[in-house]
Chain A
Amino acid sequence: MDKDRAVGDEKYICRCEEVTEAEIREAIKAGARSVVEIKRWTRAGMGICQGRSCRRLVERILADELKLKPEEIELSSFRQPVRPVSIKAMDE
C-alpha cells in the first residue's frame, strides 16, 4: 500500500463492483473493522469474483488504517459456491 496516496484517490480496489480505495477507507473511518463489514458497507467483494481479487487488498487497507499487522485482521467468510455455477448445473 502506497501510504503517500491521498484519500480521495480514484483507485479501484474491487473491480467487479467498482469500489475505490477512498470508499473503503471511508467505511473504516465510519467504524468498519473487518472485511465482512467493508463488504456490507461498500459491496467490495460481492461481485462476480466473490472477492478473490480484492480481499487481500481490502485486508491491507484495513491493516494500514487500523495500524495492525495483516495477520491480525479478522478472517472473512467465504460463501458457497466460491466460483460461479450455472443454475442448471445444480438442478442435474
Chain B
Amino acid sequence: MTEHRCDVAILGAGVNGCSIAYELSKRGKKVILIDKVVLGAGASGSCDDMILLQSKKPGILLEMAFKSLDLFEGLKTELLSDIEFETRGGTILIEDEEHLSIMEEFVASQNRYGLEVEIIDRKRLVELQPLVAEDIIASTYSARDSQVNPMLLMKAFLLGAKQKGLRYISRTTPVAIEQLASGWKLLLDTGDVVEAEVLVNAAGAWANDITKLVDFQVPITPRKGQVIVTEAIPPLGETNVWSAQYIVSKLKPQEAVKTSAGESAPTQTPAERFGLGFAFTGTHNGNYLIGSTRENRGFDKSTDPEAIALLSAQVERFFPVMSKINFIRTFAGLRPSTPDGMPFLGEIPGAPGFFIAAGHEGDGIALSPITGLVMADLVTGKKPIFPMEAFEPGRFGGKAGL
C-alpha cells in the first residue's frame, strides 16, 4: 500500500480534469490526477473537435464560451505542444423557410449577446462551401467558430502540469471517501490511499459514482453520440458545418429526452429515435467527422449500423459528393447531460473542500479553459470572474432523479 499526499486530488482525466489540474499546478498546488481508466477514456476522447459558439444558448454559457475562446488563443502559445487550434468559422445550413425564420430569431438573440453571427444567402454560402447540396437555401455564418484537437489538448494540459509536479495515476478509482479533520482521504481500489486538502470530481458521465461515496448525487446522465470518421480527403470547403435541425435538437433537450430507449413512441421516425442532427467537421489530418446522434441508452458505448446508415444518408443529403468517400471508423461517446443543460461547478453542500466540475454535455472541450480557471479560483478561495449560481451542485437537492 502506498500513501500519497497532495493539496488537490482530481478524479477524472478528461479535458476538464486536465484543465483544472493544469491551472492549479500553475498556481503552485501539488496535484494528483486520478482516472478510473486512462486519459480521455470518456467523452473527451470520443467527440468531435469543434468549439462552436453558435450552438450556445445566449446567456452565461455563451459568455463563458467567449472567454474560453480568448483563453485558447493564449494556450496555443503557452502550452508546450501543439493543440491544433484553428478558427475556420462555422455555418449552419438552412433547408427551408420555416428553419430560416427560426434561425433569424436565434441569430438576433445571439447578436444581442455580442456574438458576431449573420444569415448569409446561398450565393455567399457556396463561396464557403462549393459542394453543398443544391436545395440549401441559406446558412448562418460566424467567423469565430473554432476547433481544437481534444486529445492533443488533454496531453498538453497533462504534460504542462506534470512539468510543475503533477502526479497522474491511471486505472484506479476510489471505493471509499472519508472526511478528515482537515481535508479528505481516498481509499483506491488498488489499496493505495490518497490524502488531499481538496477533492475535485471531474468524472463526467461517471461523476455520480464519486459523489455517491459521500451520500450526495447530481442528476447527470450519459447521452450517447455516434460519429463516423472518414478517410483523409482534401478540404471540401472553408467552414465547419451543422444543420439547423442540430441546433433545434440541442436547444430543446426535452425533445431528445423523448428518444430514451424503451419509451419510443410508435410515431417517431428513426431520425427522431436517434436524436439525429448534422455536425460535419474536417480535422487537421484531413479526416472528416460526421455526427451525430443524441441518445439515452445508459452506459452502452456501442455503435450500430442503423445509426451509421442514418448518418451516412444525412451527409449525402447535405454534401452529395460524400457518397464517393470511404469511412474508416465509427465511435460513440457518452456526454454527461444535465436536466437544465448546465454543468455542476462548485462545492458540494455539506462537504467543505469537495468540489464538482461535471455535466458539460457537448460543451466540455469548448468550456475546458474557463472551467479550469473558475474551478482553480473556487479551490484557492478566489472569487471567480463569472457568477456561479446557475451551476450550484445542490440545485436539484442532492438527488440523481428529478
Partner-B contacts on A (CB < 8 A): 17, 30-31, 33-34, 36-37, 40-41, 43, 46-48, 50, 79-81, 84-88, 90-91
Contact = CB atoms under 8 A, between A and B. Distances in A.
Nearest to A37: B38
Contacts of A46: 329
Interface in B302-354: 303, 305, 308-309, 312-313, 315-316, 322-331
A87 B170 contact: no
B218 to A, nearest CB: 28
A86 B231 CA distance: 10
A79 B323 contact: no
A26 B39 CA distance: 16
A33 B170 contact: yes
Given A31-B170, A90-B312, A40 B327 contact: no
A81 B170 contact: no
Nearest to A77: B331
Contact of B151 (A34, A40, A47): A40
A36 B328 contact: no
A31 B170 CA distance: 9
Contact of A79 (B170, B171, B330): B330
Given A40-B151, A84-B328, A85-B327, 12 more contacts: A33-B170, A47-B232, A48-B328, A80-B305, A85-B326, A87-B228, A87-B316, A87-B324, A87-B326, A88-B312, A90-B312, A91-B313
B90 interface: no
Closest 4 CB pairs of A and B: A84-B326, A90-B312, A88-B323, A79-B329
21 contacts: A30-B159, A33-B38, A40-B39, A40-B45, A40-B151, A41-B155, A47-B232, A47-B328, A48-B231, A79-B303, A80-B305, A81-B329, A84-B231, A84-B326, A84-B327, A86-B326, A86-B327, A87-B325, A87-B327, A88-B324, A91-B309
Contacts of A87: 228, 230, 312, 315-316, 322-327
A14 to B, nearest CB: 12
Contacts of B313: 90-91
Interface string B156-172: 00010010000010110
Q: Is the interface of B mostly helix, strand, loop or mixed?
A: mixed
A51 to B, nearest CB: 10
B312 A91 contact: yes
Nearest to B329: A79
B330 A43 contact: no
B185 to A, nearest CB: 25
B269 interface: no
B290 to A, nearest CB: 8
Greatest chain B CB density within 10 A among A81, A85, A91 is at A91
Most buried by B among A30, A33, A46, A86: A86
A81 B162 CA distance: 37
A80 B330 contact: yes
Given A37-B39, A88-B316, A91-B316, A81 B285 contact: no
